[in-house]
Structure formats: C-alpha cells, structure tokens
Chains A and B, each alone.
Chain A
Amino acid sequence: MYTQALNTSGSASRLEVRSDEDPERMARFQARIDAEDRIEANDWMPEAYRRTLIRQISQHAHSEIVGQLPEGRWLTRAPSLRRKAALLAKVQDECGHGLYLYAAAETLGISREDLTEQLLSGRAKYSSIFNYPALTWADIGAIGWLVDGAAIMNQIPLCRCSYGPYARAMVRVCKEESFHQRQGYEIMLTLCRGTPEQKAMAQDALNRWWWPAMMMFGPPDSQSQHSDTSMAWKIKRFTNDELRQRFVDAMVPQARILGIEVPDLDLAWDEATQHFSFGVIDWEEFRQVLAGNGPCNRERLTDRNEAHADGAWVREAALAHAEKRRARKIAA
C-alpha cells in the first residue's frame, strides 16, 4: 500500500555516506543517477544506497502485509456480495504488493526469511496508519479513499526511482492501486447519499482517518535531515511536505462532492499559493504510534506472529514433500 519516510527516526536507520567509499566510483555512480540511468541489482552501488533501499523497500513491503489486517476483519462483514468480492480482491492485492516488494528488496542481498524475522520481532517499522482500527464499514470506504489515495501520491514518483527492481515493482503496484481508491470512494459516496445515519458514519470515518492519513507522508521537511541524500540518489523525487500538499489539494474537492467536512478548522484556500493551507499536525501522536503505542500496534504484531507460526507446519511439509520427490527422482 505504501511506504513512509521513516528513515529519520531512530539511530539504527541513519543514512550516511561512508567515508571509505571510493570517491571515483561514487562520482561515476552519481553521474549515472544524474543521467537518469537505472541501477540494477548486480551494479556497483554505495553501501548507504543499498542500506537505504533495503530499509525503505522492506518497510514498504511490511506495510502492505500489515495493511491487510485492518481491512481483513471486514471481509466477513461486507454489506453485499459485490462489496465482499471487491474487498477480497483488494486485500489479495495488498498481499501481492508485499510480495513484489519483498522480491525487490531481496535483489539487494537480504533473504526473505530475514525480512520476515525483522517484521515479526518488531525491529522493522511499517506505516503508522495500519496501527489504527477499522471500526465501522465506513472505515473501509475511508481507507480506500484516503489511505490508498495517500499511497498513490507517494508511489507514483517511486515508479521513477533510480533502483530498477523497485521502480518496476512500483509500476505494477500503481496500476493495481487505482482500483483500491475508486472502490473506497464509491463506498463513501454510497453512504453519503444514503440515510442520515449512513452519512454520519462516513463523516465519523473521515474524522478519524484524516489526520492519520496526513501523517502517512512522514515528518515535515524541516525535521527530515536525510531527505537530501535520498533526493540526490533519486530514491525520492518529492519531499514529504510537497506530497502532503498535493494530497490535501486533491482530497478537499473530493470531500466536498461527498458532502462531508474535512476535520480541520484551519483548512482554507490560499489565493496567493493556489493551494489549500491546513492546520498543525499532531506529531507527538505520530511519534507515539511509531514507538509502538498506537491503538493497534500490539494486536497487529501478535496477529502476524500467530499467522506465521500457524503456517510453519505448511512450510515444513512443503519442503519435506519436495525433498522426498527429489530423492525419488534421483533413485529412479
């Protein structure tokens, strides 16, 4: 579903260019990036580039995987067969996106098992948004519309990321993602054109998801000290604040069509900048959610760990079966 600019938080995730990197190779590498050449898995790359990408792609993959959980609980509660089929396809897509991304991360020299272990042990981060609960059916609409909407804003520029395998995975993801946002908006529209109670549900969902969706773009540029290197290496093409502004500009008119209010009293059209200006984001809440203290952090990790443990016998049996067949073939 989406990656968050988390590389600013925590000392383990610092983006540093190592001083022992060969300056000549570094210069050649930068020249390739500047010429819009793509870097492929076997090409030489600075260690910091490799580390940054492993971290970013794996956080992105983990987000897709954990992103299945808030929506998954509504699969059996969807109001119609049409909605259920669509939601099932969407959740399946999130899983697929996670797998494309894990495969892209693996090209950088980390194993799937290690990536999985990083998620399950809580060492790796995933997008803060998935630590909020989906309380009503309207939340499924709001997630598709706002969360996938924010994801698309973030992901489209990643299709031009300098690292080839990541960019190619993102092209597939983006193609599939636009259905997610449209199905979410359709749910919102249906509720907003329904009974007053249904419209109130849609408003309530917007109230709860708006600010967490705004936080999806990561900390403000003023606090994002490593963004420059990521931009120079064309891993990132736009800053967090630029993407956030685009999101607001796109969403506010869509909310008006729904006839519901964005929960921000400071929201106003600014003639001078030709953008919407908006209120202050509660970054303390963001920090708390990332630190593991969001409403659902523990539940999400527990659920993932249980699912992984429950599947252990299947993985074991599949490998044993493959080994048995291989041995038989050799014997024959």
Chain B
Amino acid sequence: MTEQRTPLWEVFIRSRNGLAHKHAGSVHAADAEMALQAARDVYTRRGEGLSLWVVPSDAITASDPADKGMLFEPTSSKIYRHPTFYKVPDDVGHM
C-alpha cells in the first residue's frame, strides 16, 4: 500500500461528572477534530459518556513491563504505609 498512514489516537471517556476519564480504545483520524468525531461514533453509541479526550497515541510514554519489579515491588514490603499496620485499642472507636 502506497497510501499515507492515518494517525492513531487513544480515546478516553468520562462516563459521568465526578468520575475520571477512562481509556476506552483507539481510533484512526487525520486530525484531532476528526478523531473526536470518530471517537464519538465508535465509542459512545449508547450514552457511555459526557466528555471525550483524544490523545495522539505516540504522545503516550509507557513504563516498560520489564521494569515492573523495580517500579512497583518495593511498595509491597512497606506495609507501614497502610492504616492497618498501626494498633489502636478497640475502645478508641473508629479512627
């Protein structure tokens, strides 16, 4: 195929006010405006959202799964970061 490739965009939807935008999928479109229109047609045919974001896919920097251990494992040993680590007498009540 000699045709020029149409850029890829990631689509995020806010399902209702008060909630964060959540990744829904991706679309191909020549520019941001058309990406929004395509996202609306492809991902919100049944009242899935009140707000859409489209982001060029190549603008996202992702962590490498190979670094998962280095990045995330240290937290599993730091149980003192959780409230349940601390002992409080029962008669103190809810804290």
Contact = CB atoms under 8 A, between A and B. Distances in A.
Interface of A: 40, 42-44, 89, 92-93, 96, 99-100, 103, 106, 111-114, 116-117, 169, 172, 176, 312, 315-316, 318-319, 321-322, 325-326
Interface centre among A106, A312, A318, A322 (most CB of B within 10 A): A322
- Main SS of the interface on chain A? helix
Contact of A113 (B1, B34, B42, B46): B1
Given A100-B25, A112-B8, 14 more contacts: A89-B45, A93-B45, A96-B41, A99-B42, A103-B25, A103-B27, A176-B45, A315-B6, A316-B4, A318-B6, A318-B30, A318-B31, A321-B30, A321-B31
Contacts of B41: 96
Given A42-B65, A322-B30, A325-B31, A176 B46 contact: yes
Contacts of A312: 3
Contacts of B62: 42
A92 B45 contact: yes
Contact of A169 (B6, B25, B46): B25
A250 B19 CA distance: 39
9 contacts: A89-B45, A92-B45, A93-B45, A113-B1, A318-B29, A318-B30, A319-B4, A319-B30, A321-B31
Contacts of B6: 112, 315, 318-319
A42 B25 CA distance: 16
B46 A100 contact: no
A169 B24 CA distance: 9
B5 interface: yes
A93 B27 CA distance: 15
B31 A113 contact: no
A321 B4 CA distance: 13
A328 to B, nearest CB: 12
A44 B26 contact: no
Contacts of A93: 45
Nearest to A42: B65
A42 B8 contact: no
B14 interface: no
* List of 8 A-B pairs having minimum Cβ-Cβ separation, nearest first: A318-B30, A322-B31, A322-B30, A103-B26, A319-B30, A43-B65, A42-B65, A113-B1
A106 B26 contact: yes
B28 interface: yes
Given A106-B26, A112-B6, A322-B31, A100 B42 contact: yes
A60 to B, nearest CB: 15
B91 interface: no
B64 interface: yes
Contacts of A96: 41-42, 45
A318 B27 contact: no
A106 B30 contact: no
B64 A318 contact: no
B64 A99 contact: no
